[in-house]
Amino acid sequence: MLHFIYRDTLVDDYELDASSSMGSIFDTLAAKLLAAADKYDLGRLRLLCESYLCKGISVASVASTLALADSHHAMELKAVCLKFAAENLSAVIRTDGFDYLKDNCPSLQSEILRTVAGCEEPCSSGGKSQSVWGQLSDGGDTSGRRVRPRI
């Protein structure tokens, strides 16, 4: 963190990469810097860490990276993780990271499912992924036009 404060840059990529081979995403230097950026409200450091972590997202790491992003208010990283997890859901479900989400962050699992369903916020009957029956019963048709009921 001091390197960033004095030089306004992240440490060299080989230092960040060396810590990435350790195992858990939470133990990497980028994750620790992200935590420090969140704690001390260093917006630029947060963006640099998010950018670096976005490059390393894979099926095996996306769930734990999502949990990391959520716990440290990294909204850009969280959005990228949600999109990646939604696009690769069948493979992500089989990972240990997804089991971690199930046990520790069930709200993030719900967010993944909302992303798959196309709902950015909790869906209701007025949401953009409303069923055909819901659209027709509200006086619309399936193309989104309003239909005047016949008398």
**Rounded-to-10 torsion of CA 95, 103, 101, 34:** -120
3-state secondary structure of 76: helix
Architecture (CATH level 2) of domain 1-10+18-117: Alpha Horseshoe (1.25)
Angle, helices 106-117/62-71, rounded to nearest 10 degrees: 110
At 87-135, the pLDDT tens digits run 999 999 999 999 999 999 999 999 999 999 887 665 554 444 444 444 4
pLDDT score at 15? 58
pLDDT score at 25? 67
Please, are residues 40 and 46 in contact by the beta-carbon 8 Å criterion?
A: no
- Looking up tokens 């990529």, which residue turns up? 13
Asked whether residue 142 carries a pLDDT value surpassing 80, the answer given is: no
Q: CA 139, 143, 145, 150 torsion: positive or negative?
A: negative
Supply the pTM of this predicted model: 0.71
